[in-house]
Amino acid sequence: MGSSLVVYACVGDEPERVVPSVDGGTDTGPSSSEDDAGEKVDGGNGNGDACDGGSTCEGVCVDTSSDPENCGRCAHDCGKGTCESGVCKPALIADVGDGGAAITSLTTDQTDDNPQGLAQRVFWSATGTGGGVFQDNVVGGNKVTLSTAPPTSRSNVVVSQSNVFWFSQNFGGAPQPVLKGQVNIAASQASVGTMNASFIQSILYDATTKNVVGSYAVNATQHGIFKCGPGGGVTCTSAITYSGQPGGNVATDGTGVYFCDPDNGLILRTALTGGSSSSYVTNQATPNLLRVDGTNLYWSNSGTKTIQRGGLGGGTPKQLASAASAADGLAADAVNVYWTETATGKLSYAPITGAGPTTAYVTLGASTVPMRLVRDTGFLYFSHGTAIYRVALP
């Protein structure tokens, strides 16, 4: 799978975002072009006439207010979504509503932290009647049921190249099962292993060691990080333990694992190989969601309803945005940080510089269950109630 990058090109005094196209390439969408001799060719209708109230994209007159392949600017492709007033609208991928099923987790075949390409498949878990673990193409229409055993409301799904991993909480106590299914193979649920824990909070897949790594509760006063080795039927082992309660998700920068101690206002880091932990940042107001790109760690503080950023090497955190309600989904790229708010049903974004406004990008109304959010290099994927949507990055 190819990869695409978000970079900047200078045009005059204002930077212009170079956006990924749907085929994994990039296009700045110029309003003029040059002929073989380097002469600029005026935009027009091919007869030397300028576009009547429209724009010229690759020599063709388009209406960027409604053209889904040139929405708001040239080559800004909405995928299967429509374009309204120059803004891409979300397209429905799947609706799993069947007797009350509710989506509890969402991911793609691109890693949740610092994705490097365009996703081909989306994966999710759902509770209730008709629940289970599923996959579909990113444009919908080819759903595969990997497991018909509905996971509990506390679960999350992560993906390697060939397998999907999840856990299903055993509320009766230890041991806690970690499960897997094969990508594209229906009814392929199998055991990865079990963890001797009162509950599991979150997991991720480490492509380097091929381990499933997660956070868990040891007891009422201790939490820790565990890992399950490759293969199946293994006993998962504790990497570290720490006084406090786990919360939110775990995230990785490729060498370390970040995790939250919300009651004590801490975000901590430990090596993927295990060992001791250290405080990444302190004095936070109930830190919850974590997400990593190649340079920064992003997190939400549910106590103050804020979105924060800090460098992977540490330093003073920077507040990027304030939300109307606590965030339930978080993603970031080289331009913006994105989050979902279940109480308002909004997907919003703000510049990662912290020097720009907050924009409500999608508004669907309050959701009955937490709105999950992931991205690839061209699109955002989010859940709302029993439905999963895809919308182009702004």
What percent of the chain stands above pLDDT 90? 66
Residue 359 has pLDDT above 70, yes or no: yes
Residue 265 has pLDDT above 90, yes or no: yes
Is residue 2's pLDDT more than 80? no
The label of the residue with tokens 């091929």 reads 210
What's the residue count for the chain? 394
Say if residue 287's pLDDT is above 90.
Answer: yes
Q: Is residue 99's pLDDT more than 80?
A: no
Range of lowest pLDDT (65-79, 232-246, 317-331, 380-394): 232-246
In 3D space, the residue among 33, 104, 37 whose CA is nearest the CA of residue 75 turns out to be: 33
Average pLDDT on 150-163 reads: 83
Looking at residues 146-157, what average pLDDT do you find?
Answer: 81
| Of 77 and 233, more confident | 77
The per-residue pLDDT for range 41-86, each reduced to its tens digit, is 344 444 445 687 678 999 999 999 999 999 999 999 999 999 999 9
Q: Among residues 339, 253, 343, which one has the least CA distance to residue 300?
A: 339
Residue limits of CATH 2.120.10.30 in the chain: 92-325
**What percentage of the chain reaches a pLDDT higher than 70?**
86
Structure tokens at 9: 């090109």
Number of other residues whose CB lies within 10 A of the CB of residue 222: 15
Q: Read off the pLDDT of residues 103-113 as tens digits, 9 standing for 90 and up.
A: 989 999 998 88
Which long-range contacts link 346-352 to residues 24+ away (Cβ below 8 Å)? 347/371, 347/373, 347/380, 347/382, 347/391, 348/321, 348/323, 349/394, 350/307, 350/320, 350/321, 351/320, 352/296, 352/298, 352/309, 352/320
CATH of 92-325, one of 3.40.50.720, 2.30.30.830, 3.40.50.620, 2.120.10.30: 2.120.10.30
pLDDT, one tens digit per residue, over 28-40 is 444 444 444 343 3
Nearest to 155 by CA among 110, 102, 94: 102
Give the pLDDT of residue 181.
95
pLDDT, greater one: 2 or 146: 146
Band (pLDDT 50/70/90 cuts) for residue 273 is confident
Confidence of residue 227 (pLDDT cuts 50, 70, 90): very high
